[in-house]
């Protein structure tokens, strides 16, 4: 019997593509995208009407919103390939219903069912059900409302898990069907490179140039506790085990019972902390994914690359070594922008914690290898190199002798790996005998690899040693590179006072630039004593230098300057580093300064700023000492909040093109660091769409992107999903680097039309969001922003200094709109731009742009996805 909990959901795919591309709500049109693939306007629908119902007045908008029906759930296509997912969701829905009855009682279950049925009816356009749902949800006691929310959350979480498991299922189906490579996978990537005439050696050389760098950040959009994340992983593993066709009926019943146990335990577990998260809490959240998921899949990722090369190029590819291309970063503990609890101490603590975790992992793996490699010297020889290293370590790590029984003396691999484990223990504890550099550990493991390879050990442990070696080469002794970030305004205030220039904030950027250059060139010291803020700033550089020396190259990364507005904001950081004495062995400043362009003026002038920066001899010499590479970060969220999605994306694209031109002219490698989130409005989306939509040269061999909030769990929450994420990144970056994507050839009419779209969109967006005096009241009334401000899911304050819309940080701004299903940052203003383009240039040109310009395709597809999720009635 079908559970009423899942009711009409059977046969529906949770992320089905909406067939219709235009929506009409209750007598007034909302923003609508034209059916560009057909090049004509849909009958009875106006394109791009972006006015909120009732115009700009809060009372009128609220009145019309109350009567607006939601988009009907009709005309939705559900692919047959997702039938297994439909069945999984049905079965798991029944399971959640049983848990609700048992744990919450029949009354809770019936309340949930009543709300669910009424919501489905409202979704299908039944007016009576819309009224019934409104009546049911009004005036509930807080405790009852909390339990209902918890019940629906439990169901949505299990559905999301089922979808992840279905992705694993689909991936396995492709892997079992050699005739059909998975789109975006490694086999397809290498087949396309081969079709372009690239040899095996050229492909391997290309892979050696690639660098894929996810940077994990802490943002208040992910509130799941680590306890529940681990529970979700256990449920996912249980669900994945159901994919085994050899499972007996009894085993399948046992699996379902274990899933029910996990669901019941989760129901009885607090969903979030009662206290505001600390920086340490956020750090552990990020490290959970790095250590418990990504660490485990690193060797498998490279093994899949090697297997794909063999599939495409033949057995000769088996002899090729694929270089490491994955590197990881973090901002947690180093992001000081607007965060009083992040400072020099948290930088040291984060780097220390990174090292502790990774060294402990190596220690455990070395012990496991010692247990596995039990070869006897009486049965097989080992290299003299290994024997010599064992003898050397008897004096270096004498404690290893006490942990190795005398009976193991004739087991050289076990003895040596025990010594390696002891050195790792000493490294963890910071005592004598420790590894001073990660290269020493790599050398030890390579000795074992060579010995096994030369003495019939290919199938006697070599595979496992190579796996550990992959991990060590990837994570080294720092696990993840910690970036440091601070707001440009903080630097301006500190430097102005330290230079004895009281009118500093009022100086023009050019005046500040000239004064800073003089101070750098003459090695000026601060005037008088430093105040507390200046001392804290210098302590940050001292902490960075300490971590560099203690944990090795790569422990700390770039110094990101948020809200950078001109050249002086970069030079200020250099001067602070010079005062702190943060230099390398050659005496050159050891800091890589990465300006973050995120405001509209900064993005408009990004190319000019970079060109002027690189034209200065002092800064140009600094960049040369740092490898002739300039990292520039671009922010998606603040620009979106200021200008709307269409205008901000066009600004970002133009900024990248201008910076590419400036760096190419100066002979400098540009690395664009994309500060994007999971939501479309934050720049989220598939990796290949990002790579294809940027201007030529903006992404070459290095892909550096932030991973924020819920996107971390979405992309790295399960091991097979993390593998797929890495595969897609390699696919996109390798094809882009090899010229595998069609070369962008822009018709001047396209850029003119896109500028027209951006301008019209910006005017419409700013007229409502920034210029309408009643909009703030509307925003506060229809979103739970006041609740978000009080939630304990992030350590950073959700507002900056000031008041109103401008003071609210971009991430909570997006989060608030998504909670009310307005999704306003992901679409508002774009419709006005589309109308302007169609009226001025015609629909045919817009369709042409969509069909042949990946930037426009990505922009409009993203807006369409957001619209499919938008429900103003909520």
Query: Which CA distances in Å does 155 have to 126, 159, 366, 766?
Result: 24, 6, 41, 39
Instruction: Answer whether 565's CB lies under 8 Å from 599's CB.
Output: yes
Helical packing angle, 200-209 and 295-313, nearest 10°: 160
Query: Which CA distances in Å does 78 have to 70, 121, 123, 847, 868?
Result: 20, 20, 17, 26, 15
H or E segment and range at residue 486 = strand 481-487
Enumerate helices (H) and strands (E) in the chain, giving the number of each: 35, 10
Query: Which CA distances in Å does 804 have to 253, 496, 724, 776, 801?
Result: 55, 29, 42, 7, 10
Write out 50-78 in H/E/C secondary structure: CCCCCCCCHHHHHHHHHHCCCCCCCCECC
Please tell me the distance from the alpha carbon of residue 389 to that of residue 677, in angstroms, as a whole number. Answer: 48
Q: Which of 219, 343, 674, 688 is catalytic?
A: 219
Provide φ and ψ at 700, rounded to 5°.
-110, -85
641 is catalytic: yes
Residue 35, class by beta-carbon neighbours within 10 Å (0-12 exposed, 13-18 middle, 19+ buried)? middle
Place of tokens 């960075």: 544
DSSP helix/strand/coil, 734: helix
User: Which residues have C-beta within 8 Å of that of residue 384, sequence separation ≥ 6?
Assistant: none
User: Which residues have C-beta within 8 Å of that of residue 563, sequence separation ≥ 6?
Assistant: 487, 488, 489, 596, 598, 599, 602
**Partners of residue 631 on adjacent β-strands:** 671
**232-262 exposure pattern, b = at least 16 Cβ within 10 A, e = fewer:** bbebbebbbebeeeeeeeeeeeebbeebbeb
DSSP helix/strand/coil, 213: strand
Place of tokens 């383009």: 837
- Residue by residue, DSSP assigns 378-434 as TTS---HHHHHHHHHHHHH-THHHHHS-GGGTT-HHHHHHHHHHHHHHHHHHT-TT-
Q: Which of 13, 327, 641, 688 is catalytic?
A: 641
* Side-chain-facing half-sphere of 621: CA atoms under 13 Å: 9
Please tell me the distance from the alpha carbon of residue 852 to that of residue 98, in angstroms, as a whole number. Answer: 51
Residues belonging to the active site: 219, 641
């Amino acid at each position: 019997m079908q559970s009423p909990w899942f009711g009409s959901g059977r046969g529906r795919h949770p992320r089905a593509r909406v067939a219709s591309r235009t929506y009409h709500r209750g007598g007034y049109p909302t923003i609508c995208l034209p059916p560009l693939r057909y090049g004509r306007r849909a009958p009875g629908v106006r394109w791009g009407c972006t006015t909120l119902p009732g115009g700009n007045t809060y009372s009128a908008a609220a009145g019309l919103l109350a009567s607006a029906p939601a988009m009907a759930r009709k005309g939705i296509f559900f692919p047959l390939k997702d039938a297994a997912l439909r069945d999984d969701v049905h079965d798991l829905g029944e399971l959640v219903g049983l848990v609700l009855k048992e744990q919450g009682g029949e009354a809770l279950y019936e309340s949930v069912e009543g709300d669910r049925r009424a919501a489905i009816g409202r979704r299908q356009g039944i007016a009576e059900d819309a009224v019934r749902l409104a009546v049911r949800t009004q005036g509930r006691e807080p405790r009852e409302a909390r339990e209902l929310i918890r019940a629906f959350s439990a169901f949505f979480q299990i559905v999301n898990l089922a979808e992840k498991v279905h992705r694993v299922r689909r991936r396995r189906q492709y892997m079992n069907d050699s005739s059909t490579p998975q789109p975006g996978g490694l086999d397809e990537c290498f087949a396309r490179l081969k079709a372009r005439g690239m040899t095996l050696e050229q492909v391997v050389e290309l892979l050696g140039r690639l660098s894929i760098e996810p940077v994990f950040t802490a943002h208040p959009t992910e509130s799941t506790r680590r306890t529940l994340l681990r529970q979700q992983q256990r449920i996912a593993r249980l669900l994945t085990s159901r994919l085994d066709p050899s499972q007996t009926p009894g085993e399948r019943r046992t699996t379902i019972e274990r899933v029910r146990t996990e669901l019941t335990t989760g129901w009885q577990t607090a969903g979030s902390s009662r206290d505001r998260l600390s920086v340490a809490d956020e750090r552990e959240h990020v490290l959970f994914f790095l250590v418990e998921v990504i660490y485990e899949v690193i060797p498998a990722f490279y093994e899949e690359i090697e297997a794909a090369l063999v599939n495409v190029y033949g057995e000769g590819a088996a002899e090729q070594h694929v270089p490491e291309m994955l590197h990881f970063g973090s901002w947690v503990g180093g992001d000081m922008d607007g965060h009083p609890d992040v400072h020099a101490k948290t930088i040291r603590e984060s780097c220390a914690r990174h090292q502790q975790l990774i060294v402990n992992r190596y220690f455990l793996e070395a012990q496991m290898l010692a247990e596995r490699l039990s070869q006897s010297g009486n049965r097989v020889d080992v290299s003299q190199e290994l024997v010599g290293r064992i003898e050397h370590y008897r004096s270096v790590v004498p404690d290893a002798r006490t942990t190795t029984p005398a009976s193991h003396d004739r087991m050289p691999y076990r003895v040596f790996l025990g010594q390696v484990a002891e050195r790792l223990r000493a490294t963890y504890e910071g005592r004598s005998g420790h590894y001073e550099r990660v290269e020493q550990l790599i050398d030890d493991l390579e000795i074992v690899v060579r010995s096994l390879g030369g003495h019939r050990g290919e199938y006697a442990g070599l595979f496992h040693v190579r796996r550990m070696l992959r991990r060590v080469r990837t994570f080294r002794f720092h696990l993840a590179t910690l970036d440091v970030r601070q707001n440009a305004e903080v630097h301006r205030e500190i430097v102005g006072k330290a230079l004895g220039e009281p009118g500093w904030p009022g100086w023009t950027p050019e005046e500040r630039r000239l004064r800073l250059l003089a101070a750098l060139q003459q090695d000026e010291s601060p005037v008088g004593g430093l105040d507390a803020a200046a001392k804290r700033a210098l302590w940050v550089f001292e902490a960075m230098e300490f971590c560099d020396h203690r944990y090795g190259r790569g422990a700390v990364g770039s110094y990101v300057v948020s809200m950078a507005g001109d050249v002086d904001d970069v030079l200020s950081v250099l001067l602070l580093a010079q005062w702190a004495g943060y230099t390398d062995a050659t005496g050159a400043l050891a800091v890589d300064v990465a300006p973050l362009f995120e405001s509209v003026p900064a993005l408009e002038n990004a190319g000019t700023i970079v060109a002027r920066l690189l034209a200065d001899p002092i800064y140009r010499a600094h960049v040369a000492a740092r490898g002739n590479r300039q990292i520039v970060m671009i922010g998606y969220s603040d620009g979106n909040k200021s200008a709307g999605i269409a205008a901000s994306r066009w600004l970002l694209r133009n900024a990248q093109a201008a910076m590419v031109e400036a760096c190419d002219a100066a002979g400098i490698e540009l690395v664009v660091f994309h500060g994007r989130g999971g939501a479309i409005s934050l720049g989220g989306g598939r990796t290949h769409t990002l790579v294809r939509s940027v201007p030529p040269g903006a992404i070459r061999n290095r892909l550096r992107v932030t991973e924020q909030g819920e996107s971390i769990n979405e992309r790295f929450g399960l091991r097979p999903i993390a593998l797929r994420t890495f595969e897609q990144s390699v696919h996109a970056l390798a094809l882009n680097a090899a010229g595998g994507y069609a070369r962008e050839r822009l018709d001047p009419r396209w850029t003119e039309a896109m500028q027209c779209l951006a301008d019209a969109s910006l005017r419409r967006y700013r007229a409502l969001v920034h210029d309408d005096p009643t909009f703030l009241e509307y925003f506060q009334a229809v979103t739970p922003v006041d609740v978000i401000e009080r939630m304990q899911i992030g350590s950073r304050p959700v507002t900056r200094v000031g008041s109103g819309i401008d003071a609210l940080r971009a991430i909570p701004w997006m989060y608030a709109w998504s909670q009310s299903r307005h999704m306003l940052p992901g679409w508002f203003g774009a419709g006005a731009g589309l109308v302007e383009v169609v009226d001025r240039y015609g629909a045919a040109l817009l369709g042409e742009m969509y069909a042949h310009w990946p930037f426009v395709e990505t922009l409009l597809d993203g807006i369409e996805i957001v619209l499919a999720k938008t429900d103003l009635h909520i």
